[in-house]
Amino acid sequence: MAPCGDAAPDEAGGAGVRPAGGGGRQRDRLPTVGPGWPGGGHRLGRGETGPRPRRREVAPPRAHGNGAGPPCRRRCCCCCCCCRRWRAGGPADTMSCLPEPPASRAPSRSPALSPAPGPSRCGGERRRNALDAGAGLGTVQDRQLRSVDLNHVIRLLKDSDSKDLETEQLKTLKKVVKHFENGFPLRDLAQVIEILNLCAEKTTEQEAFTEPLCELIKLCGLPFQKKKLSDEVSYSVAVSKSIAQLGYLMRVPSSQVRIQICKCVVSFYNTELPRKLLSGYQPTSANYKIQMAELGGLAETLVLSLALVENQLTEKLWVLKALQHLSSSGVNCRLMMKAQAASRLCLYLNGVDPSGQLVFRSSEILWNLLENTSKEEVVNQLSSLECVHALKEVFVDLLVHGFRHYDRQLRNDLLVIATLLAENPAAPMIESGFAKLLIVLATFTEVKIPNPLVKGLKLTYSYEDFEMKKLLFNVIRVLSKDPCAVQLLSENDVMPALLYYVKPNKKPGFRDWSTAQYEELQLHAIAILASVAPLLVDKYLSCQANTLLLMFLEWCIGQDPFFGEGNSFHGTGGRGNKLAQMRYSLRVLRSVVSLYDDAVNINLCDQGAISQLLDILKYAANKSKEKEDAILLEIQADILFILSALCENDLHRKELFSYEGVDILIPFIQMDPKKLHSGLGHNYLLFSALDCLWSCVIGCYIAEDYFLEKHGIFLLLDLLALKQKSLCNIILGILVEFCDNPKTTSHISTWRGEKDQTAANLLIQLWRQEELELGVKRDQYGRIVDMKRPVASSFQKQQEVIPMPANCPSFAIMEVSENIRAKLYSLLCKLGFENLPGLSAKDFVTLAIIQRYIDFKVGEVWSELCAELKEEFRPVESDEEALKVISEISENTGRMIAALQTEVLESQHHQEIQEEEKTYAKIQAIHKQREIVNKSWENFLARTSNYEALKKAKRLQEELIEASRSKLKPQNGAVHSTDIKDLGTTIGSGRLVTVESTPPQLIGGPLAVADIALRKPSVCEGALKKIKRVKTLDSVKKDSLPVE
């Protein structure tokens, strides 16, 4: 029991409760407690509240000095605090008006202190009169402060030769308290702490020193006084040690002292300035003491002191109150964890405490430790069997006997801590029976099975019970991760309780959860069902869960009017629709079909799940066209995965999927590549569609042929041409599988990409890109460099020789499955290595390596085998010769391919030279033709401008004509002359002649414009407007004129 006059640290306010998410806590007031627990007190620190006791009526205090009544004769903090608060317009704080614990009181007056014998009482009275008069206040106070010789006080307290010194020592201590009533200067703090330690030693034998010791400790709660701004830093080490000494004073076996120490610590967080400030001094900053307490390790000391007050409830509550304030700091929380604070506090939870503060403050400190330190470390300290038992007892007591708002909030706080413990496999939740209790509490309202653990227990529909229901569901989710808890989940009807919510929503009754609350519980239960169902497959089937889920999904896409609230975490995206219910129901189906359990899958397919899932997929796809969001994309991806799991390795189910399923898959494969990086989940949806194609189409010729008719191979090659690393592997695998269909190769060969790229060229480019990423050595032309290991990656060459068992694959074998080269080789084998269109010489160089890929991999395996043999033992001569021959064959294959590559490059180089020569020959012919045309034009100009040249040309023409005639003259035949006399032309005679004009390119002007028909003539070109009948033949203008 607390001594008379000592008050427990009860405060106005309410207990804090954290909801399931660990967010902000709500507060409510505690009920009224007995008169032995006076209320009021300092305002709590961060997150601190407590039970509100019965309010005490406090009369307004009389004013000091200028008030209506006489001044208060007792100068105590109680009276001054009341006065200040009354002047502020509010009621006085009842905690500050409490009487101090009883102790033997020393005389109220003592002589003043000085290095010499103390002055007379008259001098002291005169100084007090001067202070009251207010004359020279600051100077006198500073002189008084300087007049105190603390070293003399220390020597006086150390002197224990005479018993008559007790009275003088007590008077001296009273005087010290009087002198430092406004706070201790930083420079004197070390001596003050030494005085405290000396007083603490004397209290064990002389109880009279208890009161001055408490007064000095109380003064330590006032702000320290500094003279310079740098004093806080200069005296930081001394101050931190001094505050640490306050914690060590908890060893004093006095309830008064311990409670005063705790009050002093609490005052660090409720700093009030002194009534009067000393001249030349100013108080330290508000957080200075808090920082020094962290530096001095005060929190750790107070945690250790809990063992000293274990059987004293009042002192224990004050220590917890001080620790509650200190735990608001991360530094203090780490110090407290060193002293095993979590386990110590948990063991105190089930202690006897009529006020309820013990549970409240202990849980608050535990919460602060969880928030400010390592959660794993706190949970590990709480994972002992004793702590779990204590937590269980307190939780059950609050559950059964708690009927107040505060009790329910505190119960939920403890339930969150229990959930954190359940996440730790080392915590004895099952051994203590706590896990079973929580499971029964989570399910007893749904299954209605009698259980002695919950007999007579009824939950209300209050917000706190709603929060507890969600927390209990969360405990089931946590326990489902522990294999040891599966038996408990099966025995306590968890599956029927969760399936209770797999039904269409109904209107709430008079005494029932609200619509929003029921929807939140429903979504939460279905989400947990996705974790529990794979563990309890037998229970899942016996409860006909597949039937319930399919009926629920049918309701989700039906026309039944329902508008979801979408308020909770699980209701995201479900406001005004049923998408949230559909999303979590599909998650349950996904979790069970991923087990590939034949009983589950057959049960689903027998109920028409494939056709129903295709209908839901079309519904979601149509919704996604209206507005794309992550929820719809996730729903579509989950349906595709479920269909993949159901149809894989079952031909009949693939036939059910074939036509309708392929029509749905095609738009997914045609997805815009830009959407893959949108962040909504399009990439996940595309992978699911490709996986569904592989599982539901390949292997069924009906579905394969229909996919080919829809140009599906072209769409896959278009995706492959994007060269995205994440897509290439699965697309190549699909194409290799598709090549078992003889119609596929023709589709692959027909495909053309950008710039008329062929499929063979695309595959070879992917091979080169893969080898570049693997670090395979090639020269600048792509030829083999390492003849012994031509296709080995850089990582593979760095591995040391490690002898391995025969059943373990080596690096050369493992490398085949870790990249896409094997798939590229298989696909090119299907297409053939001959007559591949659209390949360059560089492609043929790479193709030569691809063609011998298997031979090179066999050589690598033999190379590893030889290295392993040489590590273990030396082969016999015949074996060594055989290994040498095998190695030479592999190396010769590399040399042969390198020679073939060189030959291809040389052939290409020779072909390029020939093409270059042909190009130069063509250029020369063009130039020669231009020279002939120019020479013909020059002759033409000569004939038209020089008559002698024309005559010469005419004679030459006649000679040539004559020479071309036959020398034999016909007998008896008439000879007719073909010449026209007096004709002045050098061209052949006829009815029509062609007149060649000067090419417009030579004379320039408007006729030089190539596209004269489209050019608008200018004013100066009017003389040429009549030239409209000119016919252009091969850029030479010719006019046909009749010859008369």
Alpha-carbon distances of 161 from 115, 149, 170, 205, rounded to whole Å: 21, 21, 16, 15
| 282 DSSP 8-state letter | E
pLDDT the model gives residue 261: 93
Nearest CA to 662 among 594, 609, 736, 715? 715
* Cα–Cα distance for residue pair 516/796, rounded to 1 Å: 59
Average pLDDT, the chain: 79
**What number is the average pLDDT over the span 349-353?**
85
In terms of C-beta density within 10 A (0-12 exposed, 13-18 middle, 19 or more buried), how is residue 716 classed?
buried
pLDDT the model gives residue 747: 94
* Cα–Cα distance for residue pair 193/292, rounded to 1 Å: 15
pLDDT the model gives residue 939: 87
pLDDT the model gives residue 141: 45
**What number is the average pLDDT over the span 854-871?**
86
pLDDT the model gives residue 633: 92
**What number is the average pLDDT over the span 3-13?**
44
pLDDT tens-digit readout, 576-621: 788 889 999 999 999 999 999 999 999 999 999 999 999 999 999 9
pLDDT the model gives residue 716: 95
In terms of C-beta density within 10 A (0-12 exposed, 13-18 middle, 19 or more buried), how is residue 682 classed?
buried
Quick check: 88 pLDDT over 70? no
Which residues make Cβ contacts (< 8 Å) with residue 520, sequence separation at least 6? Answer: 470, 565, 567, 568, 570, 571
Percent pLDDT > 70 in the chain is: 77
Higher pLDDT, residue 531 or 77: 531
pLDDT the model gives residue 795: 86
Quick check: 551 pLDDT over 70? yes
* Cα–Cα distance for residue pair 997/992, rounded to 1 Å: 16
Q: How confident is the model at residue 36 (pLDDT cuts 50, 70, 90)?
A: very low
Which residues make Cβ contacts (< 8 Å) with residue 569, sequence separation at least 6? Answer: 21
* Cα–Cα distance for residue pair 987/392, rounded to 1 Å: 126
Q: How confident is the model at residue 860 (pLDDT cuts 50, 70, 90)?
A: confident
pLDDT the model gives residue 166: 79
Query: Cβ distance 226 to 185 under 8 Å?
Result: yes
pLDDT the model gives residue 29: 34
Nearest CA to 838 among 764, 903, 783, 906? 764
**What number is the average pLDDT over the span 494-498?**
93
pLDDT the model gives residue 798: 84
Higher pLDDT, residue 702 or 42: 702
DSSP H stretches of helix in 946-964: 947-964
> How does 958-977 read in b/e, with b if 16+ C-beta sit within 10 Å?
eeeeeeeeeeeeeeeeeeee
Read off the tokens for 46: 């961060």
Higher pLDDT, residue 86 or 764: 764
- Tell me the pTM: 0.72
pLDDT the model gives residue 179: 84
Quick check: 545 pLDDT over 80? yes
* Cα–Cα distance for residue pair 60/91, rounded to 1 Å: 8
* Cα–Cα distance for residue pair 747/804, rounded to 1 Å: 44
Which residues make Cβ contacts (< 8 Å) with residue 724, sequence separation at least 6? Answer: 676
Nearest CA to 851 among 792, 891, 887, 897? 897
* Cα–Cα distance for residue pair 681/632, rounded to 1 Å: 10
Higher pLDDT, residue 747 or 1026: 747
Higher pLDDT, residue 510 or 599: 599
Q: How confident is the model at residue 849 (pLDDT cuts 50, 70, 90)?
A: very high
* Cα–Cα distance for residue pair 10/297, rounded to 1 Å: 26
- The lowest-confidence range among 414-418, 687-691, 1028-1032 is 1028-1032
* Cα–Cα distance for residue pair 268/288, rounded to 1 Å: 9
pLDDT tens-digit readout, 887-897: 888 888 889 99
Quick check: 1039 pLDDT over 80? no
**What number is the average pLDDT over the span 191-205?**
86
Higher pLDDT, residue 157 or 661: 661
Quick check: 388 pLDDT over 90? yes
pLDDT tens-digit readout, 577-586: 888 899 999 9
**What number is the average pLDDT over the span 213-242?**
89
pLDDT the model gives residue 958: 81
Nearest CA to 32 among 63, 53, 51? 53
pLDDT the model gives residue 989: 56
For 124, other C-beta atoms within 10 Å of its C-beta total 17
pLDDT tens-digit readout, 664-700: 999 999 988 888 888 888 999 999 999 999 999 999 9
pLDDT the model gives residue 992: 62
pLDDT the model gives residue 873: 79
